[in-house]
Structure 1
Amino acid sequence: MRAIVFCTTVATLSFAALVSFGTEAAEPARPELREIRAQLTPKRFTTLAAEVGAKVQSLPVPEGGAFKAGQTLVQFDCSLQQAQLQKSKAVLAAADATLQSTTRLSELNSAGKLELEIAGTEAAKARADLSYNNILLGKCHIAAPFAGRVSEQKVREQQYVQPGQTLLEIMDDSTLELEFIAPSHWMSFLKVNSPFEIRIDETGKTYPAGVVRTAAKVDPVSQSVKFTAQIRGRFPELVAGMSGRVIVDVPAR
């Protein structure tokens, strides 16, 4: 009798397990649950460097300050370059006077062809020197290539800098972009202009965003791809460098 009861119990449990397994197998596929991180980056950013060796006279825009396109960001003390320019002007004036005099003498057959050519060459050299010094003097201030903000100052006023030395880091944060890495199969539903949301850690708020482009190729090893998006709207509390979690409705696979 006990053997019969045991067999019946085992059979009942086996049937229940099969029913349970069949129920789980029949459940529809659930959406992919995966946290995708993204970081805010400025639309444009660059590094400004010195093109002349000179002392920094002023930095009109402080670190973190905003500026307009064409506004002076760095002004150098270029007294030496200014003096060189004045000297070049004087040398050119003398060379032009000599050329005019030699030309007149040549017309009167009082100066040879060689003398005239030498006078012309000296005038051309003086004109080239003047042009060089004008260009050099133009490097004594650096204007903003676009409107934006100073993200970092690398030098201070009254500091002497060398050509090529880094001065400022600037960025255009009028539009903030997002960069994130996601599975490559997301390309089937996340396309250019596709809307989604991102929850920023630093603010604790959720913001609208939209895809603007995808990478040109997929990483075949990780089967992932980089997406670039933009925050839709202007939110003063958002700054470059903040990060958060991408919120996307991922279709079931």
Structure 2
Amino acid sequence: MKQRALMALACALASPAMAAASVPAQVQAAPGDGRVRVQMMARQAVTLSGEVAARIAALPVAEGGSFKRGQTLVEFDCGTYRAQLNKAQATQEAANRLAEVNSQLAKLNSAGSLEVAQAQGRAKEAAAEVSYMQTVVGKCSIVAPFAGRVARRVAAVHQYVNPGNPVLDIVDAGPLELRMLLPSKWLTSMKPGSRFTVVVDELGASFPARIERLGAQIDPVSQSIPAVGVIDGGAAALLPGMSGWASFK
């Protein structure tokens, strides 16, 4: 009985703490003034990695520099791979010639069908090797998938990297997205196109903006819904990573 009483007392003491822990975390908002914290992010942010084991020969765009879509951002020293491609092409040429000769000899009954088939098989094998090496050599440079800027150099020129090692972090040059969490109770008055003002901490300036899209699901714990906004017009001074307050009043 005494043990049960002690257990009951412990549960009673612990229950306030457990109740407090189960209270949903609130969205980061300024109470009562219609403001929420907002983070500015690039629409596309990518870490570029090499697909070949090689030494970096050149990184033409400096950190912070701009680039166009399709521009070369990374060049690898692929002399070994190009030599292997040349060897494969020479082997293919010889195999094709042998297949042609055996085919002609077969017409003159001077070569059997087995010899013809073997020669054709070697020609196909050589062609596959050439195709493979062409693919490898094609990965000796990395081109920009979109127009943007180099956010960070992870590797350096002359550094040897393995497949999958990060080389550059890049972000696109398009309009920034404003990421925020809105209280779910605001949904009655919030929709795509709703206007608001962003005050950027780093600049001390305000910009007009609008909601572009709302999330598809409410978080039952924080009672919030993700939202994405965009700045109206151009704002060249804004950079990914800046933050501030979005005011909906």
TM-score range, shorter chain: 0.7 to 0.9
Whether the 8 Å CA contact 2:34–2:247 is kept in 1: the answer is: no
After TM superposition, give the deviation of residue 182 of structure 1 in Å. 1.5
Which residue of structure 2 aligns with residue 216 of structure 1?
216
Give TM-score scaled by structure 1 length.
0.84
Which residue of structure 1 aligns with residue 54 of structure 2?
54
Which residue of structure 2 aligns with residue 14 of structure 1?
none
What amino acid maps onto 2:158 in structure 1?
Answer: Q
Distance 2:59 2:221 in 1: 48
What amino acid maps onto 1:38 in structure 2?
Answer: V
What amino acid maps onto 1:187 in structure 2?
Answer: L
Which residue of structure 2 aligns with residue 235 of structure 1?
235
After TM superposition, give the deviation of residue 234 of structure 1 in Å. 1.5
Which residue of structure 2 aligns with residue 136 of structure 1?
136
Distance 1:240 1:173 in 2: 10
Paired residues, number: 219
Which digits, 9 at most, give the CA deviation of each residue in 1:115-172, with x for residues without a partner?
A: 1100000000000100111111100000000000011111000111101111111111
> Aligned ranges for residues 156-175 of structure 1 at < 5 Å?
156-175=156-175
Distance 1:108 1:170 in 2: 63
Q: Give the aligned CA root-mean-square deviation in angstroms.
A: 1.1
User: Partner of 1:83: helix, strand, or coil?
Assistant: helix
After TM superposition, give the deviation of residue 194 of structure 1 in Å. 1.2
Give TM-score scaled by structure 2 length.
0.86
Distance 1:195 1:158 in 2: 50
Distance 1:232 1:173 in 2: 16
> Aligned ranges for residues 94-109 of structure 1 at < 5 Å?
94-109=94-109
Which stretches of structure 1, 4 residues or longer, exceed 4 Å deviation after superposition? Answer: none
Gaps of 5+ in 2: 1-30
Distance 1:35 1:194 in 2: 14
User: Partner of 1:212: helix, strand, or coil?
Assistant: strand
Which residue of structure 2 aligns with residue 82 of structure 1?
82
User: Partner of 2:45: helix, strand, or coil?
Assistant: strand
User: Partner of 1:175: helix, strand, or coil?
Assistant: coil
Corresponding position: 1:71 with 2:71: yes
After TM superposition, give the deviation of residue 34 of structure 1 in Å. 5.1
After TM superposition, give the deviation of residue 185 of structure 1 in Å. 1.6
Deviates more, 1:91-100 or 1:220-229: 220-229
Whether the 8 Å CA contact 1:173–1:240 is kept in 2: the answer is: no
Whether the 8 Å CA contact 1:199–1:245 is kept in 2: the answer is: yes
What amino acid maps onto 1:108 in structure 2?
Answer: L
Which residue of structure 1 aligns with residue 112 of structure 2?
112
User: Partner of 1:174: helix, strand, or coil?
Assistant: coil
Which residue of structure 2 aligns with residue 44 of structure 1?
44
* Larger Rg computed on CA atoms: 1
Identity rate of aligned residues, in percent?
42
Distance 1:245 1:120 in 2: 70
After TM superposition, give the deviation of residue 221 of structure 1 in Å. 2.3
After TM superposition, give the deviation of residue 229 of structure 1 in Å. 0.6
What amino acid maps onto 1:120 in structure 2?
Answer: Q
> Aligned ranges for residues 3-18 of structure 1 at < 5 Å?
none
After TM superposition, give the deviation of residue 190 of structure 1 in Å. 1.7
After TM superposition, give the deviation of residue 208 of structure 1 in Å. 1.0
User: Partner of 2:42: helix, strand, or coil?
Assistant: strand
